[in-house]
Amino acid sequence: MSFTTATPDRASSPHPTQPHPGSGMRELGSLLWRRRAIMLLVVLLVGTTVGIGLALAERSYTATTRVTVTPSPSLEQTPASYEALLSTMAGVAESRPVLAEVSDAVGDRSVRQLQDSVSSAVVAGTLTIQVSVSDTDPEVAAQVANAVVALLPDNDPSNGGVEFTVTEPASVPLAPSSPNVAVTLLAGAALAGVLAVIAAVLHDRVARTVETAEDVAEATDVRVLGVVTRPDDAAGVAVTDVQSREFASLRALRVALEFATSDEPTRSLVVAPVVTDPWSGWLEVNLAASLAELGHRVLLVDAHRTDVERHPVLDAAGEPGLYDLLAGTAELPDVLRDGPVDGVSVVPLGNIDLAAPSLLEMRFRQLVDQVDGDHDVILVHAPAVTESDDARIMAIAGGLLLTVPSGRVKRPVLERALDDLRAVRIRVIGAVLLGAKAVVR
């Protein structure tokens, strides 16, 4: 019986992911809730900055006065020409001669300062000129405004053809016109909200670890074949114990793997984590035993050169194994060991000093082709894909099952790992999330 694999196809998953209306907003809401501490920090920083800015900002007060300019009966002007005359008079209020006299009257404001602070304009649709003065001293602002309109008759360009009537004398302003506290606070709140959301999204993108099957699917677009709970005994074979907590999730993984590998026959399946995980070899041993229960004849190969805590099934220190085969100093029958259940044979790592790592690239595929018909599945325990190229090299001869330790892998790391695998056209059959609760669908 042959074991077959196929290129991942999300549509063929036994649990296809279907988009739900409003899922994008729910995901954003969930993200913002996860990163609420970051958002609060950003809001506090922006709020503090705005508050300090308001406290330190120089206050400016604006005083306003209005004067009505009425033509005398003797003044012969058309409406259009009189409108032009009003504009000229409004300009006179800002002229240097007038401001020079105001400067002398006020005493502590130069003409240049007054030019920056005095503005005048004709009120649309009226015969009224409005003069506004902004100053850091509210009393000076009112004094200058009233002084300007008081000097307009003495600088009348119509030579007495109009009458000036102050309709609204300037009073001392009680509140500053700048900065506008209400507008500044509103703008600060809006800026704080936008920056808080941006910071939350960026922080989530960079710092968030992959913890759920949905996280894996979103980061990689790879089908998640299973969510396997954290093993109670990392050195055990839980799949042989129907009472074990991990039994159901292991069986579900086997079913999903069988379903996903229904095209393009291949004999080898490399199982490799994204990063080094604390259950090294546990999943491979249990998966081999689970496949053997279906009648597969499984050859479990230990190819993890840097594994420091091997599963007891794989631990054969000092005995010949894979690297002895690669170096040509042993034959397959010489290195085979009994597995945890009938139908599983184990090839330990062997003596890695006998063969240079380059031999893995040169001879592993040849070794797979030479495995006799007594085994229809070759299951390989490989090092992390971010640790070495061993998993990529061995997966060229078949497919790769990627394991993702929940809470131990940052999303960008997972994304880069998948990009690297796809760049060399590795067939990634799917992913398995380790150490998280299965999602109920």
Measured CA to CA, the distance from residue 207 to residue 381 in angstroms comes to 29
Q: For 223-268, what is each residue's pLDDT tens digit?
A: 999 998 888 888 889 889 888 888 989 999 998 988 888 776 667 8
CA distance 348 to 317: 8
Considering the domain architecture, whether residues 195 and 234 belong to the same structural domain is answered as: no
- 29 domain-assigned: no
User: Strand order in 337-338's β-sheet?
Assistant: 224-228, 428-434, 399-405, 268-273, 377-381, 298-302, 344-347, 337-338
Residue 173 lies in a domain: no
Same domain, residue pair 402 and 293? yes
Position 99 in a domain: yes
Six-digit token string for 269: 């399946």
Q: 175 in a domain, yes or no?
A: no
Strands (E), 337-427: 337-338, 344-347, 377-381, 399-405
Give the pLDDT of residue 197: 92
> Does residue 27 fall inside a structural domain?
no
Task: Return all residues near 3 (Cβ < 8 A) that are at least 6 apart.
Answer: 261, 265, 266, 267, 269, 291, 296, 376, 377
Distance, CA of 405 to chain centre: 20
**Res 397 pLDDT > 80:** no
**Residues 298 and 430 grouped into a single domain:** yes
Domain extent, residue 188, equals 37-56+180-203
Do 216 and 362 lie in a common domain?
A: yes
Is there a single domain that holds both residue 253 and residue 319? yes
User: In this structure, are 140 and 160 located in the same domain?
Assistant: yes
Domain boundary among 145, 168, 191: 168
Task: Supply the pLDDT for residue 204.
Answer: 77
pLDDT value for 20: 54
Q: Please state the domain count of the chain.
A: 3
Mean pLDDT lowest for which of 94-103, 176-185, 186-195? 176-185
% of the chain residues with pLDDT over 90: 46
Q: Are residues 142 and 231 in the same domain?
A: no
Cis peptide before 179 (omega within 30 of 0): yes
One domain, residues 196 and 230 = no
Q: Convert the pLDDT of each residue in 323-363 to its tens digit.
A: 999 998 999 999 999 999 999 999 999 998 877 767 888 88
230 and 293 in a single domain? The answer is yes
Range 129-140 average pLDDT: 94
